[in-house]
Amino acid sequence: MPPAAHAQIDLEALTHNLGRIRSLAPNSNIMAVIKANAYGHGAIPVARALAAADAFAVARVDEGIALREAGIRQRITVLQGFLGAEELMLHSHYDLEPVVHSAKQTEILESANLDNPVTVWLKLDSGMHRLGFAAEEFVACHDRLCRCRSVCQPPFLITHLANADELDDPVTERQLDLFGTQVAGLPGGRSIANSAGLLAWENALAEWVRPGIALYGVSPFPNRTAADEGLKPVMTLRTRLIAIKQLKAGAAVGYGGDWVCNRPTLLGIAAIGYGDGYPRHARSGTPVLVRGQRVPLVGRVSMDMITLDLTDCQQAEVGDAVTLWGEGLPVEEIARHADTIPYVLLCNVTPRVKRVVGRRPE
């Protein structure tokens, strides 16, 4: 019998996706983005499986320390860098590479006296307007970092694309132009592309690419799925049917009774809900796989359960495996039914859901 809510993590799909990214960016090093617990997949097993990645990226210093403590030896970039001198010390101690995006960080580096200088990624704000130096400040800061004893020379150069998932948006070309102008003639490796950047914008491939979502087998583009990109989904979220009942036409199902049977209905109850990270806003009609067949979710998602219309799947039995997304059911499609994006669905899988590493859980 399949276990209750579990996320099967297919490491073969993960390494396939890394290979696919390599073939798309054959001249780039790959910095695999494994922030937020590797987008909900489990940072440590994912990092171990991605032994062929050239480096990793996390958002925060704690995430980098956890990887080091688990024995991960590759280079690790910390995308938010440090906020104070103590966090800088941690970067130096654990051999983590901060992104430097503010004058304050530059000052901290200048006044630090590190035994082990840090490799830094100097960030240009090329139009995202989140982290990074404005174009006017960029070169001056580069000069300062080049003279700083606590910095391994030369600094790496980085920027982030805001709209790379929108293929006809002129913003990306403007960002690429600005970055190109600012870094022209400077030494140091460059990094621009996230997943959408490397899949769609050839000019964004530089010495380093930074794929996140594509590694997990998800398309970053609206209205496309992994298969369109030659990627395979890594996470399959599954549970089991715990009850089946026959209802009469007119019966209302679940909290609020929003969904009412318009015919005699065979109702299935599956053991997963928003307490596991299944989106509460998934609408009636969201597809779910039972015995490989699509059936619609009906009624409101509750904390531990969802209800399914099995009327057209009469062979279903209590104990059957139920797939919420992943193999055979793209998470991109579920995101559209829940008015969200696949990133959110993957990140929101809660600790209650056991991660089962390997191809087949049963």
Ligand X SMILES: *Cc1c(COP(=O)(O)O)cnc(C)c1O
Our finding on whether 38 is near ligand X (CB under 6 A) is no
Only one of the segments 13-21, 204-212, 246-254, 348-356 lies at the binding site for ligand X (rule: CB under 6 A); that segment is: 204-212
Among 72, 78, 213, 335, binds ligand X (CB under 6 A): 213
Only one of the segments 205-213, 229-237, 244-252, 260-268 lies at the binding site for ligand X (rule: CB under 6 A); that segment is: 205-213
Instruction: Classify burial at 357, counting beta carbons within 10 Å of its beta carbon; exposed 0-12, middle 13-18, buried 19 or more.
Output: middle
If the CB atoms of residues 220 and 287 are measured against ligand X, the closer one turns out to be: 220
Cα separation, 49 vs 53, whole angstroms: 9
Catalytic residues: 35, 255
39-75: burial string, b at 16+ Cβ within 10 Å, e else: bbbbbbbbbebbeebbbbbbbbbebbbbbeeeebeeb
DSSP notation for 62-127: HHHHHHHHTT--SEEEETT--SSHHHHHHHHHHT-EEEE-SHHHHHHHHH---SSPBP-EEEB-SS
If the CB atoms of residues 35 and 144 are measured against ligand X, the closer one turns out to be: 35
Footprint (CB under 6 A) of ligand X, residues 68-97: 79
DSSP 130: S
267-282: burial string, b at 16+ Cβ within 10 Å, e else: bbbbbbbbbbbbbeeb
Site string for ligand X, 103-132 (x = CB under 6 A): ------------------------------
Only one of the segments 46-54, 113-121, 212-220, 240-248 lies at the binding site for ligand X (rule: CB under 6 A); that segment is: 212-220
As given in the structure block, the two tokens for residue 208 are: 């380093």
If the CB atoms of residues 13 and 79 are measured against ligand X, the closer one turns out to be: 79
Q: How far is the CB of 269 from ligand X (least distance, A)?
A: 34
Only one of the segments 135-143, 176-184, 213-221, 295-303 lies at the binding site for ligand X (rule: CB under 6 A); that segment is: 213-221
Among 81, 132, 211, 299, binds ligand X (CB under 6 A): 211
Footprint (CB under 6 A) of ligand X, residues 177-196: 194-195
The H or E element containing residue 272 is: none
Give the count of residues interacting with ligand X (CB under 6 A): 12
If the CB atoms of residues 49 and 346 are measured against ligand X, the closer one turns out to be: 346
Phi-psi region of 86 (alpha: psi -120 to 50; beta: other; left: phi over 0): alpha
Site string for ligand X, 149-168 (x = CB under 6 A): -----------x--------
Chain center to CA of 87: 25
Residue closest to ligand X when measured from CB atoms: 212
If the CB atoms of residues 98 and 299 are measured against ligand X, the closer one turns out to be: 98
DSSP notation for 292-331: TEEEEEES---SS-EEEE-TT-TT--TT-EEEEEBTTB-H
Footprint (CB under 6 A) of ligand X, residues 219-248: 220
Among 9, 14, 33, 235, binds ligand X (CB under 6 A): 33
162-178: burial string, b at 16+ Cβ within 10 Å, e else: bbbbeeeeeebeebbeb
If the CB atoms of residues 79 and 145 are measured against ligand X, the closer one turns out to be: 79
For 183, other C-beta atoms within 10 Å of its C-beta total 21
Q: Which residues of this protein are in contact with ligand X, per CB under 6 A?
A: 33, 35, 79, 160, 194-195, 210-214, 220
